[in-house]
Amino acid sequence: MEYKTLQRAREYEKENGGKIPASDRPVFHMTPYVGWTNDPNGFSYYGGKYHLFYQYNPYDTRWDSMHWGHVVSEDMVKWEYLPAALAPEDEYDSFGCFSGTAMELPDGKHYIIYTGVHKTEDGKEYQQQCIAIGDGTEYHKYEKNPVLTSKDLPKGLSPYDFRDPKVFRDEDGMFRCVVGGKDEKGLGELLLYASSDGFDWHFENIFIANDGEYGCMWECPDFFMMGESAVLLTSPQDMVAKGLDFHSGNGTLCQIGSYDIEGKQFLRHSAQTIDHGIDFYAPQTLKAPDGRRIMIAWMQNWDTCNTSGFRAMPWFGQMTVARELSLKDGKLYQMPVRELENYRKDKIGYKDVEVGGKVTLHGIEGRCLDVIIKVRPADRENVFKRFTMYFAKDASHSSRINFFPGDNVFETDRRLSGSRRANIQQRSCSVRDLGGEIELRVIMDRFSVEVFINGGEQAMTTAILTDPSACEICFECDGKAIMDITKYTLGAEE
């Protein structure tokens, strides 16, 4: 079959993608070749490379007509653009090829399962699961699509909210997939489907139902085992804030528990936010050939998309750095993939710097950086009240991170970054009480900052759209702190 919409998108990409100068993009964060992106899709290792697809509207920097864009990488840091992989083409996905996942089939083919959306004349959007098979560049939609429709939903679940399949090969050899659904009360349920070949699917069970504690619909499930523990990531809509643990709106949720393969259920033992920053949503994971579990997410959030007053961007939406996941004491930890360290250059370090009032350090500046900071109180009996790092700073702009040891609170704040919008510009999370000590890894690119706190126990990710020429950094303390700092420039900073 001839894919006309895909062809048109590829031609458009060819003509327009190259027009965006590299200096207008982040150095090491993936942005759409042209136009808009939201969720990462089909994050998988295939044919010796990491493949990342993305929700994609090539034609404009706003959400519409979802295609799947496609990039590949040898190291999950440097991404190479491939032609768009999927386009809304057939009746069943004419309104969009929504999110989904990918894996390698036993016969060596690359398998994609995604949500095809079909809009009827009365304006209703039916969501159904579809398959495409490919070789790493060209993907062909399965002739029997859609493979899961409203007929495969348990009674009472909405045919308009049935999306984002996460496929995996299970211990018993079966293909299984977890798909988001919505019940009559508007709450999310994750549904478990099984197949012996990956093509012919049947409903097995409700994997887990949302009792309303964590938002409503659970978008973009991702499920995997880490040792004996089962980990379930989702992106809940309509969350209600709970202290500093969860924030309102579109959030992220990591549930850790066990997988009852006989009972075909997920049993939750604990729950946490995945990333406490302002811009993080819809993470997906893969298992790298060396066994590491790697996560990547949309470095944006539906509640914070309205930032265009900042700066006319030739693209919209970026992905986070890829992150290595681990479990410690029943909690999810994350740190940037170790491959990022290969891009470090121009090391500058200072030890035992006394920070009281404002301090700048020679050579500590820039916008594409990997910075490691260890802070401790100068006087353990009289711990400082606040430690601040300002960055993306010039005479009239700055963003900052704050640590308040008295409350064990960490905060990211971009109120002075130049935004012309009144959406959320500040967010806080609780951190471990270490008597005024804190360890930070701060990853900055031209349009973002990702902070990993105390070895990755918390992460805070925020898009910073201040012009990249704002590159001063300084530190400030209310009280006295002692700081060790190591800074590397990352990649090619023009």
CB of 288 to ligand FRU, least distance (A): 24
Interacting residues of 327 by C-beta distance below 8 A, sequence separation 6+: 226, 227, 229, 231, 256, 333
CB of 305 to ligand FRU, least distance (A): 10
Q: 3-state DSSP helix/strand/coil percent for the chain, to nearest 5?
A: 10, 50, 40
Binding mask 274-313 for ligand FRU (x = CB under 6 A): -------xx-------------------------------
CB of 58 to ligand FRU, least distance (A): 14
Active-site positions read 39
66 forms part of the interface with ligand FRU (CB under 6 A): yes
234 forms part of the interface with ligand FRU (CB under 6 A): no
Q: Which of 89, 219, 339, 457 binds ligand FRU (CB under 6 A)?
A: 219
222 forms part of the interface with ligand FRU (CB under 6 A): no
Q: In this structure, what DSSP letter does residue 15 have?
A: H
Residue 342 near residue 75 (C-beta atoms within 8 A) = yes
Residue closer to ligand FRU by CB (options 164, 370) is 164
- Count of positions on this chain that bind ligand FRU (CB under 6 A): 13
Binding mask 156-175 for ligand FRU (x = CB under 6 A): -------xx-----------
CB of 102 to ligand FRU, least distance (A): 14
334 forms part of the interface with ligand FRU (CB under 6 A): no
Residue closer to ligand FRU by CB (options 163, 276) is 163
* 113 burial type by CB count under 10 A (0-12 exposed, 13-18 middle, 19+ buried): buried
220 forms part of the interface with ligand FRU (CB under 6 A): yes
3-state helix/strand/coil string of 66-120: EEEEEEEECCCCCCEEEEEEECCCCHHHCCEEEEEEEEECCCCCEEEEEEEEEEC
Residue closer to ligand FRU by CB (options 55, 458) is 55
- Shortest CA distance to 128 belongs to which of 109, 146, 113, 104? 146
Residue closer to ligand FRU by CB (options 163, 323) is 163
CB of 80 to ligand FRU, least distance (A): 23
- Can the peptide bond before residue 146 be classed as cis, meaning omega within 30 degrees of 0? yes
Residue closer to ligand FRU by CB (options 284, 425) is 284
Residue closer to ligand FRU by CB (options 217, 473) is 217
Q: Which of 37, 44, 65, 115 binds ligand FRU (CB under 6 A)?
A: 115
- Neighbouring-strand partners of residue 449: 444, 462
CB of 298 to ligand FRU, least distance (A): 7
Residue 232 near residue 259 (C-beta atoms within 8 A) = no
CB of 65 to ligand FRU, least distance (A): 10
Query: Pairing state of beta strands 35-46 and 315-316?
Result: parallel
Q: How many residues does the chain have?
A: 494
Residue closer to ligand FRU by CB (options 98, 452) is 98
In single-letter form, the type of residue at position 63 comes to: W
Which position has the token pair 């606040």? 386
CB of 282 to ligand FRU, least distance (A): 5
437 forms part of the interface with ligand FRU (CB under 6 A): no
Residue closer to ligand FRU by CB (options 29, 163) is 163
Interacting residues of 218 by C-beta distance below 8 A, sequence separation 6+: 180, 188, 189, 190, 210, 234, 235, 236, 237, 253
CB of 44 to ligand FRU, least distance (A): 17
Residues 79-108 that bind ligand FRU (CB under 6 A): 98-99
Token pair listed for 295: 């996560």
Other Cβ atoms within 10 Å of 43 Cβ, number? 25
Q: Which of 5, 31, 44, 55 binds ligand FRU (CB under 6 A)?
A: 55
Cα 163 to Cα 59: distance, rounded to the nearest angstrom: 24
What is the side-by-side strand order in the sheet with 265-272?
A: 218-226, 229-236, 253-260, 265-272
Residue closer to ligand FRU by CB (options 60, 346) is 60
In single-letter form, the type of residue at position 270 comes to: S
Q: Which of 5, 31, 37, 38 binds ligand FRU (CB under 6 A)?
A: 38
Residue closer to ligand FRU by CB (options 115, 412) is 115
CB of 184 to ligand FRU, least distance (A): 19
Cα 37 to Cα 55: distance, rounded to the nearest angstrom: 5
Residue 440 C-alpha from the chain's centroid: 20
Residue 140 near residue 85 (C-beta atoms within 8 A) = no
Residue 254 near residue 270 (C-beta atoms within 8 A) = no
Q: Which of 10, 27, 31, 39 binds ligand FRU (CB under 6 A)?
A: 39
| Residue ranges that bind ligand FRU, judged by CB under 6 A | 38-39, 55, 66, 98-99, 115, 163-164, 219-220, 281-282
